[in-house]
């Protein structure tokens, strides 16, 4: 990785921070993937809490999803990953920024337009049990989106499509599975039904929000392999949301590391996991395969900065990671670093990577541990 002359790309509040185009366009676009399906540009989401308090759940997030490519959104609980997915899926309205689908701006939609949008952009959730209705069979769950997508559809064409969908997700022989209710299926089988239901709408974008984290560890790899296979076969533009940076490395082309609503590091999956530049990414890598257990890794290293923290525990001034960062200096406590360009396709938001502090850059090169 070249980190010789990092330059800030955009700045806080400019709406340009972190745009994939700013990172030299050397992402999936130039690696032989398909066309640009979806783009998030300077996306923001504020939630109004009790009283006048505002929670900035997503701050100036930009990225591109290409057909046939996987972008992983990695970060700890509360970092804003699901909010990004909800914004892209049209379940929440952004407070700022823009979304495009196939180059067209996504704005206020009629019911009919929204139905079309929903079939193009499918969301798969973490918990396959709660996303399937217990009183309906698998057939019912799959037939609805097929009918909505192919209207009208004959009985024989519907049956053929249902069998094909079951085969795509390897629930065969199809007929007995189609007759089952969700409670008669294992967790992995239920998630396969969720994938089949998403595919039934013939989407170009699949937003998979922690699709394997509730499954038994023993079948996670099998499910990710299936998802990877579906991505290739249907040329899906896939956003893979996860806590687990190890699975992101295995699965994704590009990794976006999110912290407190911001993208703090981005780049090709291999580079980000082999040579993490941001201290938070370094900690994620160092604590893999148990990235939820950051407390023990951070204990002792981070410095408390109670003055800069609001009642929600969010940092109000400086780098959002500085209270937990073992390398925090005065500047980190007062100014939020922009995403700095590290190489053509990489960026990280950390003052240690600023040209003003080149002697600290080498410290970013930590050796990965725990098999990453």
59 binds ligand ATP per the rule CB under 6 A: no
Q: How far is the CB of 316 from Mg ion (least distance, A)?
A: 23
Q: Which of residues 232-271 bind ligand ATP (CB under 6 A)?
A: 243
In angstroms, the CA 51 to CA 175 distance is: 54
Please choose which of Mg ion, ligand ATP, none residue 57 contacts, taking the beta carbon within 5 to 8 angstroms, the exact cut-off set by kind.
ligand ATP
80 binds ligand ATP per the rule CB under 6 A: yes
81 binds ligand ATP per the rule CB under 6 A: yes
82 binds Mg ion per the rule CB under 5 A: yes
First to last CA, the chain: 17
77 binds ligand ATP per the rule CB under 6 A: yes
Which of 57, 61, 146, 162 is in the footprint of ligand ATP by CB under 6 A?
57
H or E segment and range at residue 196: helix 187-200
Q: How far is the CB of 304 from ligand ATP (least distance, A)?
A: 20
Residue 231: left (phi > 0), alpha (psi -120 to 50), or beta?
Answer: alpha
82 binds ligand ATP per the rule CB under 6 A: yes
Please choose which of ligand ATP, Mg ion, none residue 79 contacts, taking the beta carbon within 5 to 8 angstroms, the exact cut-off set by kind.
ligand ATP
Please choose which of ligand ATP, Mg ion, none residue 118 contacts, taking the beta carbon within 5 to 8 angstroms, the exact cut-off set by kind.
none
SS (H, E, C) 108-133: CCCHHHHHHHHHHEEEECCCHHHHCC
Contact map string, positions 260 to 299, toward Mg ion, x by CB under 5 A:
----------------------------------------
Radius of gyration (Cα) for the chain, nearest Å?
A: 21
The tokens describing 331, both together, are 């500047």
Stretch that binds ligand ATP, among 12-20, 26-34, 74-82, 230-238 (CB under 6 A): 74-82
Which of 1, 55, 148, 214 is in the footprint of ligand ATP by CB under 6 A?
55
Q: To 10 degrees, what angle do helices 187-200 and 217-234 make?
A: 10
Residue 332 sits at φ, ψ, to 5 deg, of -65, -30
Q: Which of residues 18-77 bind Mg ion (CB under 5 A)?
A: none
Q: How far is CA 272 from CA 132, 161, 259, 355, in A?
A: 35, 40, 15, 20
Which stretches within 207-289 are classed as H helix?
217-234, 245-251, 269-274, 279-287
Q: Given the rule CB under 6 A, which residues bind ligand ATP? A: 47, 55, 57, 75, 77-83, 243
Report the interface residues with Mg ion, using CB under 5 A. Answer: 82
């Amino acid at each position: 990785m070249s980190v010789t002359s990092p330059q800030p790309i955009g700045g806080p509040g400019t709406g340009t921070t972190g745009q994939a185009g700013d990172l030299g366009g050397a992402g999936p676009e130039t690696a032989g993937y398909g066309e640009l399906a979806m783009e998030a540009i300077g996306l923001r989401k504020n939630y109004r809490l009790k009283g006048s308090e505002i929670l900035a759940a997503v701050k100036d997030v930009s990225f591109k999803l290409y057909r046939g490519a996987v972008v992983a959104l990695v970060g700890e609980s509360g970092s804003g990953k699901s909010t990004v997915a909800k914004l892209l899926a049209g379940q929440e309205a952004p407070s700022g920024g823009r979304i495009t689908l196939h180059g067209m701006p996504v704005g206020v939609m009629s019911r009919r337009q929204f139905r079309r949008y929903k079939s193009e952009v499918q969301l798969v959730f973490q918990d396959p049990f709660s996303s399937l209705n217990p009183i309906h069979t698998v057939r019912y769950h799959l037939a609805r989106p097929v009918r909505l997508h192919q209207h009208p559809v004959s009985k024989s064409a519907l049956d053929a499509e249902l069998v094909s969908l079951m085969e795509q997700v390897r629930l065969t022989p199809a007929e007995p599975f189609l007759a089952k209710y969700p409670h008669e299926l294992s967790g992995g089988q239920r998630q396969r039904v969720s994938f089949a239901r998403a595919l039934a709408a013939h989407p170009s974008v699949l937003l998979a929000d922690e699709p394997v984290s509730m499954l038994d560890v023993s079948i996670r790899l099998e499910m990710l392999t299936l998802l990877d296979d579906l991505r290739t076969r249907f040329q899906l533009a896939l956003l893979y949301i996860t806590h687990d940076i190890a699975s992101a490395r295995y699965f994704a082309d590009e990794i976006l590391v999110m912290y407190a609503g911001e993208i703090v590091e981005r780049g090709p999956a291999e580079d980000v996991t082999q040579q993490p530049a941001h201290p938070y990414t370094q900690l994620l890598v160092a604590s893999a395969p148990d990235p939820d257990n950051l407390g023990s890794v951070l204990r002792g290293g981070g410095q408390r900065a109670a003055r800069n923290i609001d009642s929600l525990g969010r940092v109000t001034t400086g780098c959002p990671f500085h209270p937990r960062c073992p390398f925090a200096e005065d500047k980190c406590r007062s100014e939020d670093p922009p995403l700095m360009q590290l190489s053509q396709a990489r960026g990280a938001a950390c003052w240690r990577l600023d040209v003003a502090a080149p002697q600290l850059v080498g410290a970013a090169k930590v050796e990965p541990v725990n098999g990453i």
